[in-house]
Amino acid sequence: MRGLKTQFGDFVVHDDLDLDVHEGEILGVVGGSGTGKSVLMRAIIGLKRPTAGKISVFGADVWAMSDHDRREIEQRWGVLFQGGALFSSLTVAQNIMAPIREHLALPDALARDIAALKISMAGLPPDAGAKFPSELSGGMSKRAGLARALALDPELLFLDEPTAGLDPIGAARFDDLIVSLKKSLGLTVFMVTHDLDTLHAACDRVAVLAEKRVIAVGTIAQVRQTGHPWIEEYFGGPRGRAALMAKAGGGGAREEAS
């Protein structure tokens, strides 16, 4: 992202924002309420047109490509929206098969087999495929959404608040799953999150949004060296210290919250 500007009417969310996401990393995007974390993700995947600037994914300008090229590049990424965003009238298996049917001409039997594989990869039991979203717990809904995001074997995975609403144990297991999938599948992960434990447990680097741009990017230790007041309050407060203790094996913010 270079010189990115996004706005709603006269309200400017981002202004002259620059950010690089490196292949094979898990990048955590953090910031206070209203800093436009989810808006940034939506701009990258083509759901929110920027006012100015350029977004390149796999070397291609997301907002300058043809419809045909966009369909091709969309097959190379997967998206887990906050809350899962599953189609309520479809079963879990049918939800996972939706992008397969949209982008690939595969026999239904093969599509069902792929859906079953993704259900397993996301840590769901085999019988979850026949369930409707209304029959799932919050944690299962997240995993079902993840299974759908993995349907086309993407190289790039977008996650919007993946552990929001999960209990401490479920959130920790989801973190472990993301790290495991990243390593086994060679994924690059762009993760919007406010979860300090997730940042410590899963992310290789962190990008901090404030003042309408990225004010710091790097490891948690590196971004804290900037001395920015919000960064210090966020990472140096009680929950930040608890998350750091969790990484060292001494219990964490989730344990404290529970």
Q: What is the rounded CA–CA span in Å between residue 42 and residue 8?
A: 13
pTM for the predicted model, two decimal places: 0.90
pLDDT score recorded for residue 243:
59
Inter-CA distances, 127 with 13, 123, 146, 168, 178, Å: 43, 12, 16, 25, 22
CA nearest 27: which of 208, 154, 166, 181?
208
DSSP E strand boundaries for the chain: 2-8, 11-17, 26-31, 52-54, 56-57, 60-61, 77-80, 156-160, 188-192, 205-210, 213-218
Per-residue pLDDT tens over the stretch 187-204: 999 999 999 999 999 999
Mean pLDDT of all residues in 109-127? 95
Mean pLDDT of all residues in 204-223? 96
Q: Under CATH, which number does the domain 2-247 receive? A: 3.40.50.300
Tell me the sheet residues that pair with 119: none
Task: Report the chain's terminal Cα–Cα distance, integer Å.
Answer: 38
User: Which pLDDT band, with edges at 50, 70 and 90, does 105 fall under?
Assistant: confident
Mean pLDDT of all residues in 91-115? 94
Tell me the sheet residues that pair with 208: 30, 216
> Tokens at residue 21, please?
């996401």
CA nearest 95: which of 73, 67, 122, 74?
122
- Amino acid letter, 28: G
Q: Dihedral (C-alpha) 148, 253, 190, 54: value to the nearest 10 degrees? A: 130
Q: What is the rounded CA–CA span in Å between residue 177 and residue 219?
A: 21
DSSP E strand boundaries for 46-198: 52-54, 56-57, 60-61, 77-80, 156-160, 188-192
Inter-CA distances, 206 with 29, 51, 226, Å: 6, 25, 13
